[in-house]
Every structure is written in structure tokens, then in C-alpha cells.
Amino acid sequence: MVDAEDVTRMFNMVSANSVHAFEEELRNGYITVKGGHRIGMAGKAVVEAGKVKTIKHVRSFNIRVTRDCPGAADLVIPHMIDNSRPASSLIVGPPGSGKTTMLREISRLLSGGIPARGVAPQNVGIADERSEIAGCYRGVPQNDVGPRTDVLDACPKAEGMMMLIRAMTPDVVVTDEIGTAEDAQACVEASCAGVAVIASAHGAGKKDLANRPSLQRLVSSSTFSRIILLSCRRGPGTVEEVCDGRGVTLLRGPLGGAL
């Protein structure tokens, strides 16, 4: 049986007895620890000016153990290359379907280059708002995201994408869980700047894309020339379909799964 004392001890261990040092992360409901593992927390939210400042009286945790999964993108990578260049791609799937794991593996592959596909090593920039793709700990990626990859950790996606384009001259920008109008506009601007955008979004299929105005705008404007649909039907990482920006199916599943 876990009691309040156990929870307090756990919280002190996770925060290294320095809550203030992790105040920014706590505002988002989690702390990233060495190794890139993320510990989500629930308790009483402290709100100031309508925004969450921190969480206190923590009473529950959700520990997410991160790990690299080489091969997780093998099924989709061949369909993401257009004239030896990575095509802007949107990965869509429900929670737990392996979107972030696939983004991480795609980043690693593109950063190192894919000789078999004629793809030279790419400069990759990751706007990692929730510290899940690279799993940075004190600025150092704990996951393998490739040798030519720059990471803006804990930076809002839209702002991070623009900062990377201005400062780091990426060939590819990667980000997780887009959905707001600001995210969509950043994707459009990146695409217009000649940068390939690899992103993910929550959704159970094409119908969900049509029901989210910001994402529908991206699809209809051909900002993304590849749409990758994932599910959990055969376990995380199940590829249901890969289609181009016009809706033409390039790969039909279910394939893979159980990352």
C-alpha cells in the first residue's frame, strides 16, 4: 500500500529536493530525469493570471520510460523520400500509437543520411516542447536523434520552429503534437522557407483531420506531401496507411506494430 509519506518521498527524489529548480517543468505537469524518462504528476494546480504556475500536493505519478527503437520507421521511410529529399510528413495516430517514437527514429535516420535511398545527411532541428522526442536532461539529448541534430528543449513548438530556421539553418524541422493555429502557421512558414517539416498530431484517422480546422488547412494546402496514419491495432507503431498530399495511397496496412 502506497501512502502519503511514500508519495512525498518520491516527489522529493524526483525533484532532487529542489522544487523551485523544476518549476518550469512542473508548470507542464511533468519532470524529465536523467535518461530522458518523463514523470508526469497530478495534484493541486497553482494558477496565476489564468495560467498554471506549478503543481503542489502531488499525489500521483505516471512514469514513462523512454527507449530508442531502431527500425521503428523502416516501413514508412521509403515513402517519405521524394527525389532524394525528405518530404514534409504528418504522422497521425491516437495516444500510445508510437508517434513520438517514430519521429525520433526518423530524426536519427535523416540526420545520419540514408545512402540506400540516395539521401545525404540532413541538418535536423527538433522543437521538443514536451522533452519527449530527444529526452534532454540539462540540455543533452538522452535519446539517439542523430549526429546532425539540434534540439530546442522545452520550447513552444511554433516559436521553436521559427527559432531553429533563423538560427540553425536546418534542412528538416521535427516537432510533436501540432494542433493550434500558431503551430499550423509555423509549419506553413517553414515549408515556404524550403524546410521539410516532420510533425505528429493526435487523431484516429483521416476523418479526425477533416474535423480539426488547423490541420485540415495544412492538408488542403499541401504543406504536408505525406500523411502517415498509425494505430494500436497490432500494437504501438501499426502503420494503417501512407498517402500523398492528394490522398493517393502509397502503402496500406495494417503493417508492423509492437515497437
Q: List the CATH code of the domain at 77-256.
A: 3.40.50.300
- Cell of residue 136, nine digits: 534532454
Residue 63 in this model has a pLDDT that exceeds 90: no
Taking the C-alpha atoms of residue 144 and residue 136, their distance in angstroms, rounded to an integer, is 10
- Cell of residue 25, nine digits: 517543468
Residue 100, φ and ψ in degrees, nearest 5: -65, -40
Classified as helix, coil or strand, 222 is: coil
Q: Mean pLDDT check: name the lowest of 69-73, 97-101, 212-216, 229-233.
A: 212-216
- For residue 62, the model assigns a pLDDT of 87
- For residue 4, the model assigns a pLDDT of 78
Per residue in 146-204, pLDDT tens?
999 999 998 999 999 999 999 999 999 999 999 888 999 999 999 999 999 999 999 88
Query: What percent of the chain is predicted at pLDDT more than 70?
Result: 97
Classified as helix, coil or strand, 6 is: helix
In this prediction, residue 1 has a pLDDT band, given cuts at 50, 70 and 90, of low
- For residue 117, the model assigns a pLDDT of 92
The set of residues, in sequence order, having a beta carbon less than 8 Å from that of 162 and lying 6+ positions away, is 186, 189, 190
Residue 61 in this model has a pLDDT that exceeds 80: yes
Residue 239 in this model has a pLDDT that exceeds 90: yes
Q: Mean pLDDT check: name the lowest of 62-71, 83-92, 161-170.
A: 62-71
In this prediction, residue 21 has a pLDDT band, given cuts at 50, 70 and 90, of low
The set of residues, in sequence order, having a beta carbon less than 8 Å from that of 74 and lying 6+ positions away, is none
Question: What is the reported pTM?
Answer: 0.85
* CB contact burial 137-174 (16+ within 10 A = b; e otherwise): beeebbbbbbebbbbbbbbbbbebbbebbeeeebbbbb
Residue 121 in this model has a pLDDT that exceeds 90: yes
- For residue 19, the model assigns a pLDDT of 67
Residues 103-117 have a mean pLDDT of: 96
Per residue in 33-55, pLDDT tens?
777 788 888 888 888 888 888 88
- Domain residue limits, the chain: 4-64, 77-256
Nearest CA to 108 among 17, 174, 166, 181? Answer: 174
Q: Are 200 and 178 in contact (CB under 8 A)?
A: yes
Query: What percent of the chain is predicted at pLDDT more than 90?
Result: 55
